[in-house]
Copies of this chain bind each other. A is one copy, B any other.
Amino acid sequence: MPAYAAPVADMQFLLHRVLKVRDSGLPGHDDLDPDFTGQILTEAGRVASEVLAPLNAVGDRHGCRLDNGVVRTPPGFDAAFRTMKDGGWTALDCDPAYGGQGLPCLMGTAVGEIFVSANMAFNMYQGLTHGAYSAIHAHGTAEQKALYLPPMVRCDWTGTMNLTEPHCGTDLGMLRTRAEPQPDGSWRITGTKIFISAGDHDLAQNIIHLVLARAPGGGEGTRGISLFIVPKVLVNPDGTLGARNAVSVGKIEHKMGIHGNATCVMNYDGATGFLLGDLHKGMRAMFTMMNEARLGVGLQGYAVAAAAYQAAAAYAKDRLQGRAVTGVANPDGPADPLIVHPDIRRALMDQRSLVEGARALTFWGATLIDRARAGDAAAEAAISLLTPVIKGFLTDRGFDCTVQAQQVFGGHGYVEDWGMSQFARDARIAMIYEGANGIQALDLVGRKLAQDGGRAMMAFLETIKAEVRAQAGDDRMAPFAEPLKTASKQLQQAAMFFVAQGMTRPAAALAGSTDFLHLMGHVCLGLMWTRMARAALDALDAGEGDAAFLQAKLATGRYYMARQLPACTMHLARIESGADPVMALPAEAF
């Protein structure tokens, strides 16, 4: 099974040379000196390599079992979860008022990538808890926060998010789970929820379910929906555990991947719940956590690709097959390693340049979340715009790259022994959950693009222009600045096409939405590569850092600009072909 080594050097480069985290002016960020962040990342990497990665295949093979109504996680998950808790990893970026360590979202993101790369299914138990923690932190009363957050920060209790029902996923306006008010101020929750990640398990003493349900008087559609805290075990006012609540697991889903995480059908049979946030404002409460949650899924998309790339690169250097076209490279062996072959190299460079660019984009997104939390409205607008791109583009491309990594192994990639099939099967879910990628494209084109008069998009294009201008006069930056300039003009042209069509022909914009999401994704990664190249050259000019690392960074970036940015031309052409080719066929002809 694949070994995993955390990309500490690359993360340090991003934190300190690209994002310059200590100069950000945000509270607490000036503590983040390279020694401190290096220690955190190295230690997270040790846990990932020694504890989580060895359990990845175990989780895939054993899966979760439902025994007498209780979910059993795969062997070893319990001990590993204790290691995570004892190391304080679950509390890393939580509020110190509830026992958290108070590090920024940026550091939580970096550490999160490491854990997801090592074992995506395992890390979801904590990841879902973090989402529920954020919802209660943002919308809970003082009592609710005091009662629920400390054990959730420690992951003594975990959390879930319950949105989907059998007949509605995207269209939550149809949801049927109902909440009836009780005389004591609590609510009785009745309904069935499906696809509940970490819905039940044996890793924690309690599970705090956050459940969307329809309370009386809220009207039809999404307006009538409220959010409720529904603990698996009811909690006494002193924080001790009380009676078992009327929540049960209907079944565990049999899925393509992430077998180590229990995806449950949850039945609420008059379960006791407590309103979280305002009545009939449940959708709004959910949306406040969405940027963070979707950034976390975008991260999954590239983090699995990162682990798959590591395995593919190692295999390509080890496996002897064929001879280099430019002459024998390994005269003492029966053949040359795969990595001499240009098409293998192309596949590896596709993966590497995507992963490193995606990491930069996700880290940038995390800093925007940190800024937004500190009250920066422009950062809030920027991350709202970028969120569907981070989620949709990075999971689509992350899956493609994972499949390419699997391909490097030939037939050995298709059998389960090498772990590459698992990477592909696991990565696949990230394109679907937390809003399927078509929904991300719709969010981007149908909402975010035009929001506030298109201000966020204009600011994004201005950011690029400034970045391009800043490179003028340095010929070494031309392979970055020129393709970025071209691509960003194409992005602007596509946006203008939507504006021109959107008023009279809304289908024309939506028919191009996925292409627009990918076009913008490439522009984002082009921007990231330009920034990284600039930082690498600055370090080289100053004689700082590891020259081999910095040269590799420049070479990888030039690959992305030369080989990936040409996709923008294709996406623009597709967009400008409009809705007619897409909508011409009548529905009954399908």
- Is A164 engaged at the interface, CB distance under 8 Å to the other chain? yes
Which residues of the other chain, B, contact A1 by a CB distance below 8 angstroms?
Answer: none
- Asked if A584 meets B570 with Cβ closer than 8 Å, knowing A256-B416, A407-B431, A514-B346, the reply is no
CA distance A573 to B522 in the complex (A): 15
Please state if A581 and B566 are interface contacts (CB–CB under 8 Å). Answer: no
A453 to B417, CA, bound (A): 44
Partner of A174, one of B334, B341, B558: B334
Q: Are A589 and B411 in contact (CB under 8 A)?
A: no
Q: Decide if A507 touches B342 in the complex (CB within 8 Å).
A: yes
Contact at B415–A582, with CB atoms within 8 Å? no
Cα distance A81–B513 in the bound complex, in angstroms: 46
A583 touches B407 (CB 8 A): no
Q: Which of A342-399 contact B (CB under 8 A)?
A: 342-349, 352, 399
Counting CB contacts under 8 A, is A161 at the interface?
Answer: no
Distance in angstroms between the alpha carbons of A361 and B16 in the assembled complex: 53
Q: How far is the CA of A552 from the CA of B587 in the complex (A)?
A: 11
Residues of chain B contacted by A233 (CB below 8 angstroms):
none
Q: How far is the CB of A339 from the nearest CB of chain B, in Å?
A: 5
The interface stretch among A136-144, A436-444, A535-543 is A436-444
Measured CB to CB, the nearest residue on chain B to A436 is: B410
Contact B569 A321 (CB under 8 A): no
Q: List, in ascending order, chain B residues with CB within 8 A of A436's CB.
A: 407, 410
Report whether A407 and B421 are in contact in the complex, using a CB–CB cutoff of 8 Å. Answer: no
Do B587 and A421 touch across chains, with their CB atoms under 8 A apart? no
Stretch at the interface among A183-191, A298-306, A422-430: A422-430
Which B residues are CB-close (under 8 A) to A316?
590
Cβ–Cβ < 8 Å partners of A413 in chain B: 432
Contact of A317 among B164, B326, B590 (CB under 8 A): B590
Q: How many copies does the complex hold?
A: 2
**How far, in angstroms, from A570 to B515 measured CA to CA in the complex?**
14
Please tell me the number of chain A residues within 8 Å of chain B, measured between CB atoms: 94
A164 touches B342 (CB 8 A): no
Instruction: Across the interface, name the chain B residue whose C-beta is closest to A556.
Output: B585
Q: How far is the CA of A342 from the CA of B505 in the complex (A)?
A: 12
Q: Flag whether A3 is at the interface (Cβ < 8 A).
A: no
CB–CB A321/B511 < 8 A = no
The answer to whether A342 and B559 have CB atoms under 8 Å apart is no
Asked if A343 and B441 sit within 8 Å, CB to CB, the answer is: yes
Is A171 close to B, CB under 8 A?
yes
What mask results when residues 224 to 266 of chain A are scored 1 for a CB within 8 Å of chain B, else 0?
0000000000000000000000000000011111000001000
Given A316-B590, A584-B555, A585-B349, CB of A428 within 8 Å of CB of B414: yes
Of all chain B residues, the one with the shortest Cβ separation from A584 is B555
Q: Residue A114 at the B interface, CB < 8 A?
A: no
A325 and B64 CA atoms in complex are apart in Å by 41
CB distance from A64 to the nearest CB of B (A): 14
Kindly state whether residue A469 has any CB partner on chain B within 8 Å.
no
**Which of chain B's residues have a CB closer than 8 A to the CB of A417?**
253-254
Decide: A510 near B559, CB < 8 A? Known: A255-B416, A415-B254: no
Q: Which residues from B are CB-within-8-Å of A415? A: 195, 253-256, 263
A288 within 8 A of B: no
Is A463 an interface residue, CB under 8 A from the partner? no
Which of these, B164, B321, B335, B339, contacts A411 with CB under 8 Å? B164
Q: Are A574 and B584 in contact (CB under 8 A)?
A: no
**Contacting residues, chain B, for A344 (C-beta < 8 A):** 438
Q: Is the CB of A558 within 8 A of B581?
A: yes
A313 at the interface (CB under 8 A from B): yes
Question: Which of B170, B341, B425, B583 is within 8 Å of A342, CB to CB?
Answer: B583
Q: Which of A352, A437, A584 has the most CB of B within 10 A?
A: A584
**A513 & B171 in contact (Cβ 8 Å cutoff):** no
C-alpha spacing A338/B413, complex, angstroms: 35
Is residue A562 within 8 Å, beta carbon to beta carbon, of the partner chain? yes
A residues 137-187 near B (Cβ < 8 Å) are 164, 167-171, 173-174
Closest to A344 in B: B438
Q: Which of B167, B169, B343, B349 contacts A410 (CB 8 A)?
A: B169
Determine whether the beta carbon of B552 is less than 8 Å from that of A581: no
Q: Could you mark each residue 511-550 of chain A with 1 if its beta carbon is under 8 Å from any beta carbon of chain B, else 0?
A: 1011000000000000000000000000000000000100
A329 to chain B, nearest CB (A): 8
Assuming A313-B590, A566-B574, is B438 touching A414 (CB within 8 A)? no
The reply to whether B584 and A559 form a contact with Cβ atoms under 8 Å apart is: yes
- Nearest B residue (CB) for A324: B507
29 cross-chain CB contacts under 8 A: A164-B411, A169-B321, A169-B410, A171-B321, A173-B335, A174-B320, A254-B415, A256-B414, A313-B590, A325-B507, A325-B510, A341-B510, A343-B438, A345-B511, A346-B582, A403-B428, A406-B428, A411-B433, A413-B432, A424-B428, A425-B425, A555-B585, A559-B581, A559-B584, A559-B585, A562-B581, A566-B573, A569-B569, A570-B570
The 3 A-B pairs at the shortest CB distance, nearest first, are namely A566-B573, A256-B421, A342-B510
Q: A552-B589, A566-B569 are in contact. List 14 more A-B contacts (CB 8 A).
A: A169-B321, A254-B415, A256-B414, A342-B511, A343-B438, A344-B438, A347-B514, A349-B581, A425-B425, A548-B589, A555-B581, A562-B581, A566-B570, A566-B574
